[in-house]
Amino acid sequence: MADRLDAVFAALADPTRRAILALLLEDDMAVTDVAAAFPVSLAAVSKHLAVLAAAGLILQEKRGRITWCKLDPDGLRPASVWMQGFGQFEPVDLDAFERFVAAELDGGDAA
Domain locations in the chain as residue ranges: 2-110
- Distance CA(93)–CA(105), nearest Å, equals 19
pLDDT in tens, 10-48: 999 999 999 999 999 999 999 999 999 999 999 999 999
Domain 2-110 indexed as CATH 3.30.530.20: no
pLDDT at 111: 44
Amino acid at 97: F
**On the CB side of 12, how many CA atoms lie within 13 Å of its CA?**
13
pLDDT in tens, 48-72: 999 999 999 999 999 999 999 999 9
Average pLDDT over residues 72-81: 87
